[in-house]
Amino acid sequence: MITLFYAKGIFSNTTNFQGHAMQFGNYRQGPATAFVGVILSLLCSFSPAASAAESLYDNLQLTDLKGNSVDFNQHRGGLVLINFWATWCPPCVKEMPSLQRLQQQFDPDEFSVVLVNLGQTATTVNHFFEEQTFGFSLPVYLDSKGQAFTQLGIQGMPSSFLVDASGNRIETIVGAREWDHPDNVKAVRELISAPPEY
């Protein structure tokens, strides 16, 4: 059995907003952070979760940073790590460089890392990336209404879904990780080389 994903020494504190666990690790939450979390949690209560029988990709209604609609089915055919994040979430930001380093160790046709921002505008996200000092080239999409919280049953921030070539969720990872830790890289390689299950 493959164990995903190694997280020694990475964020463990959890704050709950109306039943939704928000991962903030060892960081302090300011009033604005708490307010945004509460608003997103309220949004979660207005739409039902997607049926498990539906394709994960079919339940994602996203745009790119230019406002164009995105067909997430373009990522079918390979192993995909979908990372759900927000600029106001310190652990989300802290793990970004390791997500980039993880992707750099794999052919994107076999394994790809994709980021989905929850509840923020393209202006906010673009401004965030303009201020960063680390090189970042991963695809970034927007779920500006934060609908994935309920549609996909997201339980905390950051959250990541590992998805197989057919769009089926293999694993849900809540909380930040050191994504390019050797144990995680090994786990991804084993999943890529494992025979498909029918």
What Rg value do the Cα atoms of the chain yield, rounded?
Answer: 16
Query: Rounded to whole angstroms, what are the CA distances from 141 to 69, 115, 117, 195?
Result: 9, 6, 6, 30
Contact between 170 and 162 (Cβ < 8 Å): yes
> Each residue's pLDDT tens digit in the chain (198 positions)?
344 555 544 433 333 332 334 433 333 334 444 344 434 433 333 334 444 445 677 777 899 999 999 988 888 889 999 999 999 999 999 999 999 999 999 999 999 999 999 999 999 999 999 998 888 899 999 998 888 888 888 888 999 999 998 888 999 999 999 999 999 999 999 999 886 665
Q: Domains, the chain, ranges and CATH?
A: 16-193 (3.40.30.10)
| Token pair recorded at residue 82 | 């979908």
Are the C-beta atoms of residues 179 and 97 closer than 8 Å to each other?
Answer: no
pTM attached to this predicted model: 0.75
Give the C-alpha separation, 116 to 124, whole Å: 14
113-129 tens-digit pLDDT: 999 999 999 999 999 99
| Amino acid type, 156 | G
Spatial separation of the C-alpha atoms in residues 40 and 27, rounded to whole Å: 19
Relative orientation angle of helices 90-103 and 182-193, to the nearest 10 degrees: 60
Instruction: At 165, list the tokens.
Output: 């070539």
> Within a 10 A sphere around the Cβ of 191, how many other Cβ atoms?
17
Element of type H or E holding 57: none
Peptide bond into 90 cis (omega under 30): no
